[in-house]
Amino acid sequence: MITSKQYIFKELNALVKAFGNVCVRYEHDERTAIHFVEVTPSSIFHYNEAYIARESEMWDRFVAQYPCEGICFTSDDEPDGVEHAEYTLRGVGYARSESKAQKPAPARRQAKASAIEYA
């Protein structure tokens, strides 16, 4: 069985190949056993239905495979972003075009984040 980090890196590589206009940054908090994944631009994170479905599937598979660890997806316009990235991967089409906190998170995304955070 591969480690949780190896699993996440494999999944993030596949994610960036599928969505070439994103950048992902990864950080692991060993104290809490939570893996943080920051996805930019925030417009993809909040509004792209195909991305949201892919993220949800990745979250489900991770939780099933590593039940004693957590994974949190975020974007740069949210307060729980990645501060000290261990791993950064940019797609070939990634271009930083949005300013931080340009758009508020949609209610649907906020509800999902709350459910994940307190589940």
CA neighbours closer than 13 Å in the CB half-sphere of residue 80: 16
Domain containing residue 63: 4-118
Q: Which amino acid is residue 16, in one-letter code?
A: V
Q: Which pLDDT belongs to residue 116? A: 39
Predicted structure pTM score: 0.78
The total number of structural domains in the chain stands at 1
CA 108, distance to chain mean position in Å, is 16
> Which tens digits make up the pLDDT trace of 70-104?
999 999 888 777 889 999 999 999 986 543 444 44
State the Cα–Cα distance between residues 82 and 36, nearest whole angstrom: 7
Instruction: Decide if 106 contacts 46 (C-beta within 8 A).
Output: yes
Mean pLDDT, the chain, rounded, equals 84
pLDDT in tens, 29-50: 999 999 999 999 999 999 999 9
